[in-house]
Amino acid sequence: MELVRCRNSSHNEQLKTGHYLWCFFCHDYNVDNCSDSAFLCKPEEDVCVFERMRSIYDGREEVTITKRCGKSNECSRIGTIRSSTKTIFVNTTCCDYNVCQAPLPTLPQANDDENGLTCPACFVPNSDRCLGRSNLKCTGNEQRCIHYMRTEKRESATTTESLHGCTTDGICEAGSGLTYAKGQYLRNIKTNVLCSSAVGWGAPPYTLLLSMTLTFSMVTLIISS
């Protein structure tokens, strides 16, 4: 694919002239950067995204990086997602002109200082259901409870993980998404994010579950209508 490098232009200019964004696509593990071909983004994708994610589970640590087309609301996705057995650190940087290079995302630091809030927590790999939840004490700036589900399709293989736990505002504000990542294989990655407010340690456990159930019901009702 022949790539013509254009002058820097704002998102507004691109929309007015009918020119859509070109972004690099790549995906790799345990490295600081990756590079590959540039691809034409969809009309609703207005930024080039550089996402870095560090996950810790069962004594193992993995860092993934992804460059792709995205939406500007994703640029606020920075923070932690934490259950009783798995922790995810994520940061997303963006730029908004053709074949631009977004800054290297710096991952948040772990903070073990308890903040007086609690959420129901569990983690299940290779499943879309997470049962047997326990109360997890939130730390640092984790102010929200989250139900996070991630499904990745790669060729004929599909993997799903489901997590309940504490999270930060930036994760909830960025919301759910459907993305494509190009590395050795083309990946289709769908993330579902459902958030509710964390409560104080003295609240009964059923209050936490009721809060998340009501939030889920409201979201379902909005989507259905």
How many other C-beta atoms lie within 10 A of the C-beta of residue 196? 21
Whether residue 128 lies inside any domain: the answer is: yes
Q: What angle do CA 6, 7, 13 make, to 5 degrees?
A: 100
Whether residue 207 lies inside any domain: the answer is: yes
Whether residue 1 lies inside any domain: the answer is: no
80 sits in which H/E element: strand 78-82
Whether residue 2 lies inside any domain: the answer is: no
pLDDT digits (tens, 9 = 90+) for 27-76: 888 988 887 788 899 999 999 999 999 999 988 999 999 999 999 999 98
Determine the straight-line distance between the first and last CA of the chain, rounded to whole angstroms: 43
- Dist CA 123 CA 133 (whole Å): 9
Looking at residue 18, what is its pLDDT? Answer: 52
Looking at residue 24, what is its pLDDT? Answer: 92
Number of structural domains found in the chain:
1
Whether residue 166 lies inside any domain: the answer is: yes
Whether residue 84 lies inside any domain: the answer is: yes
Which residues form the domain of 202? 11-224
Cα atoms found within 13 Å of the Cα of residue 101, Cβ hemisphere only: 7
Binning pLDDT at 50, 70 and 90, where does residue 184 land? low
- Dist CA 166 CA 93 (whole Å): 23
Using DSSP's 3-state secondary structure scheme, residue 129 falls into: coil
Whether residue 56 lies inside any domain: the answer is: yes
Of residues 209, 109, 211, 105, the one with CA closest to residue 168: 109
DSSP letter for each residue of 159-212: EEEEEEEEE-HHHHHH--EEEEEESSSEEEEEEEEEEEE-EETTS-HHHHHHHH
Comparing 31-35, 79-83, 202-206, the range with the smallest average pLDDT is 202-206
pLDDT digits (tens, 9 = 90+) for 159-169: 899 999 999 99
Whether residue 177 lies inside any domain: the answer is: yes
10: exposed, middle or buried (C-beta count within 10 Å: 0-12, 13-18, 19+)? exposed
117 sits in which H/E element: strand 114-125
pLDDT digits (tens, 9 = 90+) for 120-165: 999 988 888 887 788 999 999 999 999 999 998 877 788 899 999 9
